[in-house]
Structure formats: structure tokens, C-alpha cells
Amino acid sequence: MKILVLNCGSSSIKFQLIETDEQKRRQGNESRLAKGSVQKIGSAEAQIDFQAQGQKKISHTQPIYEHTTGIENILQRLVEPEKGVIKDVEEIEAVGHRVVHGGEYFSRSTIINREVEKGIRDCIELAPLHNPPNLWGYQATREVLPSVPQVAVFDTAFHQTMTPSAYIYGLPYCLYERYKIRRYGFHGTSHRYVLLRLAKILARPVKELDVITCHLGNGCSIASIKGGQSVDTSMGFTPLEGLVMGTRCGDIDPALVPFILEREDLRLEEVNNMLNKHSGLIGISGLSNDMRTLEDASKEGDQKAALAIDIFAYRVQKYIGAYLAGMNGADAIVFTAGIGENSPMVRERVCKNMDALGVEFDSRENARLQGKEGCISRESSPVKVFVIPTDEELLIARDTYQCVTEKSG
């Protein structure tokens, strides 16, 4: 089955065409026929990138003012003679969408129908920047491919197994009742993907695994997974909570908001902007949100870059400690996403002094491992440490396949 995976933002669409079936899914050898993106939707110079499997990336610009045209364009590229990868758009049997917020409505991926569409719309209040473009993507696809089933895969769904002790804030309970103010968590598809992959690597049932998964990219979150279910995660009501990230502050004292507002004579939205876009690694270092730049600068003696890395790694360490306490140990810690997969230095900072907690870190193996899967703890380590590259699109394709075949089966 050929599945189009879409990740629609306010001015962009990222896509992959993935072919899967029962056997490919079991063996984990699905084919990625094409991938690419449409950027700067809403302008006369939208950029389309398209890369067929095993081919060079092709890019061009053209006016694209809304998502429907963007998706039409992707379909045109896919069927283009010679450069395309399918003969007819009818070969696409299902479409899977990344949807950021499923609130308390959705604890698993689901085929989108009217009721589901309403549920996604009802969550707009919780994710005003993300759920609207996710819905536009669905609606645009419905116009262009009216008879193809579409599936929503939610960033929040995996964390719906958290218990109230992990998701209720220390605020008046009526705020939860009135506005559903609680912790939701994000990056669920990534945490679940690496968990499933770990179960394969260890040849153990997912249900038996206690794991701490660290998604360290530009956005960062960490999840505590007990018996294969998320029991806690660092992001909260929004993705601002938790770890120090590329541009987000992560956990801070909430009393700082009114304090900064008054002292810096800022408006509320300016403070919000500061916490989301000008804090974290870039805010501390004053240099960059890119960990590579900070690593290079710190090697050359830049004190603030070094401090940003120290703060980043220490926050990850604190969360791991908390989750190890909460679960009374773990089978494994997994690192994934841009920094988690590619920065031996950050992984070393996080794990090297955790032997009292059962982590026997293998520095040599860690230094060798960049951008690929592997184990970076010693054989004898009670808590194993793994690097597993994430693949959210693949999990979206697998979930889409499962939802569509369950329905027709």
C-alpha cells in the first residue's frame, strides 16, 4: 500500500510517500519512494523540494497561495513522467497526517471522519498555531483525493496513558475542569517509534519495557515509559515546559513572567515570544540555537556557549534522575533526534556520572557513534543506553496502514 505522509504547518507541507504492507511492516523494510516539502506557502515564491528514492533533490519556486495548491503540486511531482515515482495518483491508497494536539479526545491514531475532524477543531484552543494548518492539510487533501481514507496521528496521543499524578498541575483543580489545563506532552510519535525499535533490538515485548526516551532536537522532550506506556513526559500544556531547548526556556519559575513583564516593560505577547523564541540555547549563549555551533564555539573558549551546553545537559540529567526514581529503575535510556543522534559530547555529559543509578557508560563506543543506531553502555550496565535515530514519518505510515486495514478487514 502506498501511503502519503503529510506534516502541514502554517506555511509549509512536508511529505513522504512510503510503501508498506503486512510483511514489510513486520520486517521493518518499508520503501520510501519520495520525500520533499513545499515551503513559504502564501507567497509568489513558494519553494518546492522533491526527491525520488535514489535520485537527486529537485527544487524550484512558483506562486502557491494555499495548501490545496501545495498538495496538488506534490501530487503532480509524484506522477511526473521520468522524474516521478507513481503512474497515477490513484495508486495512493491512504494519507497519514501528523496532528499536533489531540487533547483528551484521542489516545491513538484514527481515521478522520466528521466527528474526528470536530475533535481536532475542538483542540485548536490548546494548539492555536498547529491544529489549524493540520486541519487545512486534511481538508485540502479531501478536495484533491476525495475517496482516499485519511488518518490522524497525534503528537499527544502516546502520553494519554499518564495518570493524574503526572498530568495535573499544582493549580486550582477547577482550572482543569473549566479549561482542561493539564500536562499533555508532545513528540509522542517519536518517543513511541524509538520504544518500538528498542523492543525489536532487545527482542523483548514492548509491554515488558521500562525506558526513558530522550528526544533532543531543536525542540526537546523526555519521556518515562513504564511497561511500554508513557507515564510522564517533560513537555506540558504546551511544548514550552521541561528541558532547555534550542530557543525555548523549558522549566522556569512562573513568578518570572510578571517580574520580567514589569522590569523590561514588555507586553505579555513579547514575554511569550521571548520564552519561546529567544531563550534556551540561543538565549543563554547569545550565539546560536544550533548545538554544532555551540560545540565549536565552546572548544574555542566561548564561555557562554560552554555554559549553554552545561545547562542543557544538566537539565536532561535531572529529568533522567527523576524518572529513574519514579519508575524505580529502567531497562534502558534512549537518545534520539538531531542532538541525541549526533552529539556524543552531549550524551557523554548526560550519562558519564550516572553509575550510582546503574548507568555504566561506554565513552569509546559513544564517541564512535554518530547518526546511527547502537548501544553506548557497557555489557554489564544494569541500565542500557542506546542511540536510535527517530523516524516519525515511518510510524505515521505504519499507523495509517493499520487504521485503514483494520477498518476494511
**Residues of the shown chain interacting with ligand AMP in the complex, contacts defined by CB under 6 A:** 217-218, 246, 290-292, 295, 337-339, 342-343
CA angle 62/37/50 to nearest 5° reads 80
Which positions ≥6 away from 325 have C-beta within 8 Å?
none
**Within a 10 A sphere around the Cβ of 407, how many other Cβ atoms?**
11
CA–CA gap between residue 192 and residue 391 (Å, rounded) = 10
155, 232, 391, 399: the active-site residue: 155
Q: Cβ 249 to ligand AMP, closest distance in Å?
A: 16
Residue 183 has what DSSP assignment?
-
Q: What are phi and psi of 60, to 5 degrees?
A: -155, 165
Q: What are phi and psi of 45, to 5 degrees?
A: -125, 50
Q: Cβ 390 to ligand AMP, closest distance in Å?
A: 8
Residue 349 has what DSSP assignment?
H
Catalytic: 362? no
Distances in whole angstroms, Cα of residue 273 to Cα of each of 219, 234, 262: 15, 20, 15
What stretch of H or E contains 209?
A: none
Compare residues 200 and 372 and give the one whose CB is closer to ligand AMP: 372
User: 332-336 and 384-387: which strand pairing?
Assistant: parallel
Q: Cβ 103 to ligand AMP, closest distance in Å?
A: 24
Nine cell digits for residue 70: 501545495
CA–CA gap between residue 209 and residue 332 (Å, rounded) = 8
Compare residues 135 and 223 and give the one whose CB is closer to ligand AMP: 223
Compare residues 210 and 341 and give the one whose CB is closer to ligand AMP: 341
**Within a 10 A sphere around the Cβ of 286, how many other Cβ atoms?**
11
Reported in sequence order, the residue ranges of 209-288 that DSSP labels E, i.e. its strands, are: 211-216, 220-226, 229-233
Compare residues 188 and 228 and give the one whose CB is closer to ligand AMP: 188
Q: Cβ 146 to ligand AMP, closest distance in Å?
A: 34
Compare residues 231 and 388 and give the one whose CB is closer to ligand AMP: 388
Distances in whole angstroms, Cα of residue 384 to Cα of each of 212, 332, 337, 377, 387: 10, 4, 18, 6, 10
Q: Cβ 383 to ligand AMP, closest distance in Å?
A: 24
Q: Cβ 232 to ligand AMP, closest distance in Å?
A: 22
Compare residues 299 and 407 and give the one whose CB is closer to ligand AMP: 299
Q: Among all residues, whose Cβ is closest to ligand AMP?
A: 338
> Do residues 36 and 23 make contact, with C-beta atoms less than 8 angstroms apart?
no
The catalytic residue positions are: 155
